[in-house]
Chains A and B, each alone.
Chain A
């Protein structure tokens, strides 16, 4: 890439000498509309959200009293905060773990010459295109206490019905499972693309040297797959920490706050409890957590990447 850049700069420099009136640097207007859109709809409201986190605003009245760090103190002393942060980390890190392990295994399997692999591939990534809300409803049909497919199965084999979605110890894991089921296809596609970009020569050389399949995986496949691992880790961490729709559909965050994520908790604080200032404070915490974890993942996995 750096070579491309250098090549680009020489051409521009040469051309600027020839045609000083046509300097390409004036092209900045081309990204102005996009920059304006993200400034108005994302950056400005985001900064405004930080401001709101220092107020007692209820979400609709005209009065917003500046109360300093009080909401932050409240947040740190609120047991719900820690429950919700714990759930959010489970959604983010749990989904990342399973999506990557399973996605990589699927990619390794479907990179072999086996029959029906294109059908298998299509079916694994079909859920990616379905709305997470609908996916939540579909799995609700599976896990529901009354008439759910899981309980039909348990009754059929002579076991007792389970209230999986109502059990605080289990429901968060079911959400991780549903999120993994839905998006493992993206991880798989990215790993497949990575596997296919690895030159066959490496494996031929390794075969001549008598390396076992596992040695080849460890010493060739894994290191050269690092760019795919980086992008999957970062995408999955960000996606998992922001989880919202599937929770709304599957458990609504309950029972109690037992399956609430930071997103659904904020939504609840803002719309149901008219506690916008506090919702904004939780939002700041969420942004900080996402930023730190995705940066850590980016830096760590980037450092493991090697030149092919």
Chain B
């Protein structure tokens, strides 16, 4: 009797899950069907396109300058991610291991930076960047994103080191005569692989999607990132949303693919902070 009931509840919950899934898919359905409709096709967004057309994709690619934007975004995202992993893991190590008062203060400082609204700092930063002549350079976007994601990176690495890396390994290496830096990069860093994967994917996703830094510091066409190119394109094509949809779809494709392959690490990274922290 109870078993039967159980099955009924399970079936009911499965239906609930399906309804939720369908609801969450609505925006994607609208985005994809809109992108496939020829410009001038103003049929309802709910209706499938009558003749599928890929013309929007090539036209949007050309006129929104997406090729350059893709290259710029890739350079900025990968460079910032590499810096984050290198310097972030290095910074987290002593902060996780050495519980001195000063280190506690430094750790607290890093974490509390997450509270600062980027825009409060951006106004003076903008002036500084203009002064040192770094406007419209990849470097400034890389450094900004690097600094902005350091607190989260350090938080994730420090939590992982505290909870999973045995000290004995490092001590053995030190006794064998390895240097401090050598111990860290040869012994500790390889053990951080799972959290490095999480940091890499989380940082890539958020830096790829950055709009605030890009709109401030990358205004010229040659250095534009995808979000900036897209917002300009949206401004010009509000009457032709089919084109905008195609551009939006292309801009999110790389991260979506990356995510579908590596979602395990993404989820692990997001949840580890809450459980282990």
By a beta-carbon cutoff of 8 Å, the part of chain A in contact with chain B is 1, 4-5, 7-9, 11-12, 15, 22, 24-28, 30-31, 33-35, 37-38, 40-46, 48-49, 51-52, 59, 106, 109-110, 112-117, 119-120, 122-135, 137-142, 144, 147-149, 152-153, 156, 181, 186, 189-190, 192-194, 197, 227-228, 231-232, 238, 241-242, 244-245, 248-249, 262-263, 266-267, 270, 276, 279-280, 283-284, 286-287, 290-291, 294
Contacts and interface: CB of A to CB of B under 8 A. Distances in A.
Given A40-B147, A126-B256, A138-B30, A35 B121 contact: no
A38 B149 CA distance: 10
Nearest to B90: A30
Contact of A33 (B91, B121, B174): B91
Q: At the interface, is chain B mostly helix, strand, loop or mixed? A: helix
B136 interface: no
Contacts of B244: 137
A141 B259 contact: no
Contacts of B13: 109, 112, 114
B184 A294 contact: no
A7 B209 CA distance: 42
B220 interface: no
Given A114-B10, A194-B274, A291-B115, A280 B123 contact: yes
Given A38-B147, A227-B274, A33 B123 contact: no
B69 interface: no
B270 interface: yes
Given A15-B171, A22-B174, A113-B10, A41 B115 contact: no
Q: What are the nearest 4 A-B pairs in CB distance?
A: A131-B209, A193-B271, A283-B120, A41-B147
B238 to A, nearest CB: 9
Given A46-B121, A133-B230, A245-B227, 10 more contacts: A31-B91, A31-B95, A35-B91, A133-B209, A137-B230, A144-B241, A149-B44, A181-B24, A194-B274, A262-B117
Kindly name the residue among B27, B126, B252 whose own CB sees the greatest number of chain A CB atoms within 10 A: B27
A115 B248 contact: no
Contact of B17 (A44, A109, A291): A109
A34 B87 contact: yes
Contacts of A22: 174
Contacts of A12: 98
Interface stretch (B48-56, B57-65, B106-114): B106-114
Q: At the interface, is chain A mostly helix, strand, loop or mixed? A: helix
Kindly name the residue among B34, B147, B226 whose own CB sees the greatest number of chain A CB atoms within 10 A: B147
Given A11-B167, A279-B123, A248 B44 contact: no
Nearest to A14: B171
B251 interface: yes
B75 interface: no
A277 B87 CA distance: 34
Interface string B208-224: 11111000000000000
B38 interface: no
A41 B139 CA distance: 13
A245 B271 contact: no
Contact of A30 (B24, B31, B184, B251): B184
B99 A8 contact: yes
Given A112-B13, A149-B46, A27 B205 contact: no
A27 B211 contact: no
A152 B72 CA distance: 38
A271 B206 CA distance: 24
A124 B255 CA distance: 16
Contacts of B154: 31, 34
Given A25-B100, A33-B87, A129-B255, A114 B123 contact: no
A283 B274 contact: no
